[in-house]
Amino acid sequence: MIGCLNHVAIAVPDLTRGIAFYRDILGATVSGVQPLPEHGVSVAFVLLDNSRIELVTPLGEASPLADFLLRQPTGGLHHVCYEVDDLDAALVQLVERGIRILGDGRPKTGAHGLPVVFLHPKDCGGTLIEIEERARPAAEV
């Protein structure tokens, strides 16, 4: 079912400092900041040769990251995102296998404009897992 590791998300209390660490200390290329008010976060992507790190920080009053940063004020590893070919088909299989989907159980549009869901960490060994539908080249659509 899962194919590529789309990204690893790292929560940061200060996005400017997080970007500076990856750019100036680890020497990576980092994208510009992308505010996602509908998700209550701002993100920037560290572009690695085979995948990406999503640096993510709260945006607005009711951010889903607020609790995480209260527990871990320095920030840290937040979730991993795996790609699937067909999100609707994957959801049917995951629910049949006893995995709970967070929220109303229906896909939302993620940071890359593609459908995503989050799986319940208690059903996934304590790891918050995002599942994203793989981007398809125009020739495949």
Query: Which one of residues 125, 138, 139, 141 is an interface residue with a second copy (CB under 8 A)?
Result: 125
In whole angstroms, what is the distance from residue 53 CA to residue 135 CA?
Answer: 17
Asked if 4 touches a second copy (CB under 8 A), the answer is yes
In whole angstroms, what is the distance from residue 102 CA to residue 66 CA?
Answer: 17
Q: Which of 114, 122, 113, 118 is nearest to 130 (CA)?
A: 118
In whole angstroms, what is the distance from residue 26 CA to residue 84 CA?
Answer: 30
Tokens 């079912």 correspond to 1
Q: Which is nearer to a second copy, 61 or 70 (CB)?
A: 70
Asked if 92 touches a second copy (CB under 8 A), the answer is no
Asked if 8 touches a second copy (CB under 8 A), the answer is yes
Q: Mark whether 132 is an active-site residue.
A: no
Asked if 114 touches a second copy (CB under 8 A), the answer is no
Task: State the DSSP code for 28.
Answer: -
**Residues in the site for a second copy, rule: CB under 8 A?**
1-5, 8, 10, 12, 17-18, 21, 24-28, 48-51, 53, 72, 74-80, 82, 93-94, 97, 99, 121-122, 124-127
**Could you give the residue numbers annotated as active site?**
130
